[in-house]
Structure 1
Amino acid sequence: MKGVLLVNLGSPDSTDPKDVKKYLGEFLMDERVIDVPYWFRSFLVKGIILNTRPKKSAAAYKKIWWEEGSPLIVLSERLQEKVQQKTNIPVELAMRYGSPSIETGLQKLYNQGVKEVLLIPLYPQFAMATTETILVLAEELRKKHFADMKITHIPAFYNKPEYVKALSNSIKEYLADKDYDHIMFSYHGVPERHIYKSDVTKSHCKIDGSCCNTPSKAHEFCYRHQCFQTTKNVVEELGLDENNVTTTFQSRLGVDPWLQPYTDRTLVKKAEKEGVKKLAIVTPAFVSDCLETLEEIAMEGKEEFLEAGGESFHTVPCINDNEEWVNVLAGWINDFNK
């Protein structure tokens, strides 16, 4: 019997600093998130970050928390429920960090007699800290607890025409009655070293402005290329003016160089130096709205832009449980079940 496991990032169980600390501990101790030797990662996370960041993050979560719970969890559950209605095989939901865990999701499928699982990481672009860590953990759990289970997965889908169309249509629909003179595509940032580590050719990626546009096997696992290509795909699909579109990266941590240009600095630059007054911002690295979109962009980003001289700021919702996106997922699942 076949089944499906949708996997998203995860969320604290509540806005209590203790729950946030637990979640951040699991997230930041992942060797594919902070990819430094264990002793240093432990010192950095347990000795410094977890003693200062949980209260601040808890306050941020309180700003965006819904009555039903974490927006990311609630939206992921809505997606799972809608997809389940369009397929006749079991569809379960799991989070890489927090609850419900990947092990719990696999166990639910196993209990229903599922022996062949289609794993769908809910990330359009591949990255060490997202898709890769999900696949690695799922395989570890399979070997340990579900040895007779087979797991396959859907690779990064940023370039799939049906996804590009669904994403583009959701953006077009939201902006139909909005007044804007520039669109920014903001993606979650990663350290530059992650790009080099993910380069299967060990020589192509140079982050020099040209390698992402030069065909290479490296692009299959290059987060930077896939982000810029996502923007290009939407620009082409919607017939946007490239001169009025910018791609940026948000949420950097620490002092090491991360992918640039940075979203926060670019927001200020657009308003102060380039005369952009009416901005629309899209966050296509996220399938579901979450802290990074609802608080970091829709609240902090808006404040930064308006204080720098901007006049209006429109945050385009993530694709969430959009009906066209639901149909795309259901189509992939039904193809798997043939």
Structure 2
Amino acid sequence: MKKGVLLVNLGSPESPTPEDVKPYLSEFLMDERVIDVPLWARTLIVKGIILNTRPKASAEAYKKIWWDEGSPLIVISERLQKKIQQQTELPVALAMRYGSMTIKKGLQELVDKGVEDVFLMPLYPQFAMATTETILVLAEEIRKEHFPNLKISDLKAFYNREDYIDVLSNSIARHLENNPYEHLLFSYHGVPERHIRKRDITKSHCKIDKSCCITPSPAHEFCYRHQCLEVTRLVAEKLNLAPGTYSSSFQSRLGFDPWLQPPTDLTIERFGKQGVKKMAVVTPAFVSDCLETLEEIAMEGEEIFHEMGGKDFTTVPCLNDDAEFVALLSNWINDWAISETVTA
């Protein structure tokens, strides 16, 4: 069976205009794994409220970070795909969960090249309903409907793989080498607490307190909170970070339901108030810089920090198309190809 690879990232509007942001937000927020409430309630929230108020503000935010080549997330993902293609003989396609670069188009591109066996790689280190799961579910639906003879296997959450932690740690160390800081904040994209409980395969372990994420459990395989905190722990251990000089937080809250704590914006505000003058932020839930990293953290976060009396605010870029990250993903792809051949 001829093998191929499909990289999948989040997606982006076609342009930073309300006209293009609105359909993108609609597709994203109407996903039942993003806003996981009954259809009638999701429709009321998204189409009745959010889409009548948010597209204009979101478009303004996108304009702040938009590149001449287009959406940063798309441009970076395309660079990553091209560099990986240079390090593997397998055809490598790129798709997005939302927007015009659909998973169906990505699979079709591979099928047109004769691919029968696809390695699906969601570009998310941690598992979450609203990221990895929604990609895998949609890919399987598309396979059944359009490509019934196609075989698809997927890359599991790689948050705790030693080689990934090495690459992430090296990147952080390199970017902070000439940027001394008093506190390093690991900011992860937030999710509602109910998402954590819904994916607790034990139905009892996840209490979202100070103990459950550090107590061994099968629930950790699908626990986003545990996986985020574990990245922080492993990187801190790798970089020999002193206790008290680093912490974790969660950004991008939406709605009024309880979300993972503590919030990034309030955490940045708190450190500024406490007299921290030099702060750095890294965002390990993202592999590609995007609206949430370039605008929410690098712009809004810095503004909050300065307003609270902070002086130096440094953001560590995502892994993007970093040479070590490209080599890491390429190695995983080539290892998969070999293992599939041996198994077959």
Give the Cα–Cα distance (whole angstroms) in 1 for the partners of residues 240 and 299 of structure 2. 29
| Residue 138 of structure 2: aligned partner | 137
Which residues in structure 2 correspond to 1:244-259 (within 5 Å)?
244-259=245-260
Alignment partners' CA distance in 2, 1:39 and 1:234: 42
The equivalent of 2:82 in structure 1 is: 81
The Cα RMSD (Å) is 0.5
Aligned to 1:124: 125
Q: CA deviation at 1:208?
A: 1.0
In the other structure, the counterpart of 2:341 is: none
- Cα separation, 2, equivalents of 1:285 and 1:115: 31
Query: Does residue 313 of structure 1 match 2:313?
Result: yes
What do the CA deviations read for 1:246-276 (whole angstroms, capped 9, x no partner)? 100000000000000000001111110x321
Superposition deviation, residue 207 in structure 1: 0.4
Inter-partner Cα distance in structure 2 for 1:16 and 1:280 = 31
State the shift of 1:287 in Å: 0.3
Partner amino acid for 2:163? E
**Count of equivalent residues:** 337
Q: Corresponding residue for 2:322? A: 322
Provide, for residues 284-333 of structure 1, a one-character-per-residue CA deviation record: whole Å limited to 9, x for no partner: 00000000000000000000011001011001000000000100000000
Q: Gaps (5+ residues) in structure 1? A: none
Match of residue 108 from structure 1: 109
Residue 286 of structure 2 aligns with which residue?
286
| CA positional deviation for 1:242 | 2.4
**What does 1:1-338 correspond to in 2, within 5 Å?**
1-272=2-273, 274-338=274-338
Structure 1 stretches of 4+ with a deviation exceeding 6 A read: none
**Per-residue deviation, residues 117-170 of structure 1 (Å, max 9, x unmatched):** 000000000000000000000000000000000100011000011110001101
Unpaired runs of 5+ in structure 2? Answer: 339-344
Q: Which amino acid aligns with 2:281?
A: I
Displacement of 1:63 after TM fit? 0.1
Q: 2:126 is paired with a residue of what secondary structure?
A: coil
Equivalent pairs: percent with the same residue?
A: 67
- What TM-score, normalized by structure 2, do the two folds share? 0.97
Q: Which amino acid aligns with 1:133?
A: T
What is the distance in 1 between the residues matched to 2:71 and 2:234? 30
SS in 1 for 2:157: coil
Match of 2:342 in 1: none
Q: Which amino acid aligns with 2:302?
A: K
The normalised TM-score by structure 1 is 0.99
1:216-235: per-residue Cα shift (whole Å, max 9, x none)? 00000000000000001110
CA distance in 1, matches of 2:255, 2:269: 21
Q: Distance in 2 between matches of 1:186 and 1:280?
A: 10
